[in-house]
Structure 1
Amino acid sequence: MMKYKICLAFSLSIILAHGVMAQVVAPGAALKMVANGFRFTEGPAADRYGNVFFTDQPNNRIWQYGTNGNLSIFMEPAGRANGLYVDHQGYLIACADEQYELWRIGMDKKVEKLAIHYQDSLFNGPNDTWVSPTGVIYFTDPYYQRDYWSRTAPELVAEALYMYKNGQVTRLDDQFKRPNGIIGSPDGKLLYVADIGDNKTYRYTVRKDGTIAGRQLFANQGSDGMTIDEKGNIYLTGKGVSVYNAEGEKIEHIDVPANWTANVCFSGTNHDVLFITASDKVFTLQMAVKGAR
């Protein structure tokens, strides 16, 4: 009997360690398609109320999906915006890819250009962004040749991670093949950056001044976009959505019926609905966990 109890306890510990019991999707929940007919959806970002802003970059639009289920165009044209994030003052931070800039957009649609170059060179094309609790903006700057650009080569050799703070841009890390997705912990102490070009995701410790240290391999998977939940689980995208716990162990995979899953965020009045941008479609999924913010 004692041997049986020991084996049972050991088996349960194995199950818990591998996340089988750590369910993140609500029981019985299924993907719901909100809308289709877009060209390529990206950059979902929720405000404090759970409303979502997302982009359709080829069509140069930012859309808004309200907690009431209404879908409407928020801004057009939109600087070919890609990744978005709603900061703690309610402004929309946008990676405006058309002229390789970082924007801050008010709810009145007024645009402030925060960063337009690094030193004397234009950015490659800011792609994804996250804002820390202290207001520091982090963004990735890979090079993806766009058909609406006149240039055919980058001015910057490095595809890098940057910080925008107090009007200044600082390069934090340039050891990537192609950085892309980015998210931070709600306490601002950890930063996760995906190198989609090398199929890896890294974790950093954030210092008090906003700079980073202690680069560690978090997962052997890259990601287009990323989010984080209240338990510290990290959501990576590409072929569906893969969920990793805080130790970097894969605990869940969500299949998405689309050619490519670009990005995710938590939405809804309780911040417990996963909003998924996937090629020409957007989906929602009821979760058993809430997003961290």
Structure 2
Amino acid sequence: MTVDSSVTPEQQPRAAAAGALQIQLAMLTALAGGVLAAGSYLGSVALLVAVCAVQLLLTLSWLFGTAVPGRMGGLVLGVLAAAGADAAIMHWPHSGYSPVVGVLGMAVPLLFVHQLSRGVVRTRVLESLADITVLLVALVALAGLMVLREQSNGDILTPAVLGAITAGLVAAHFTDAVFPAPRFDPEVDRGLPAVVVGVLAGAAVGTLSLHRMIDLAGGRGAFVGASIAAVACLLSIGAAFSGVHTSLAPAGTAAPAGPAVRLRPVAAVLMTVALSTPAAYVLVNALSG
């Protein structure tokens, strides 16, 4: 970890822009987490609608915000994977993540068929394959919220999990907007204090929302909330690192501007929330028996 707490006068405009970005990410996280938490509170059908909306927005923002090569075919694959995962979970709600394994298995050959079908425009194949694969994994992972909602005490566990993820990320983003040091990387405006604050926020949510459950009473609720928030914060830092050290366009070409760039924060937020879901599912079930 590189310690970089000094800001020169030349770096002040960049620091202000980075702080504004962190506030934007915090607001987007609060919105996405709030929609999912409200759906989980209202019931299984409402949660399904919320998950489908987030999956669609994640697909569009990821493919078009990062200018993935072959994004039209990726859009078709994303819709099919999300629909297949949601349908499998709703049909076998008490089988955990097992039903979606078949969805991922079917997606593997389709990923290669998609690349072969690109024909003469088949460039940046590995980048396209990797980006679309990550998207499909995130879409399938997000369906795990419906698995958690159908479990015993799912009406308590699911909002608590989403609350820990949301609170941890929002607290971390606001902390990075004010004090992003010491940084994990000189080029990434994300610091260690934000992770600590995010973990504490997750622990507070876990304590407040899970104290009614006997299996998670005492310190277990705080541990679950803190652990979930820690995973979400680290994933968010990974998304930030990836965004800084990759480009929207291949070398020698101009990066797309306008809507494509504005969609990148949306993609980063939704990807972080989606990939945090499996870890939350495992933690809750491991501690609640």
Task: Tell whether the structures are fold-level matches, with TM greater than 0.5.
Answer: no
TM-score by length of structure 2 reads: 0.26
Which one has a larger percent strand, Structure 1 or Structure 2? 1
Structure number with higher relative contact order (C-alpha < 8 Å, ≥ 6 residues apart): 2
Higher helix share: 2
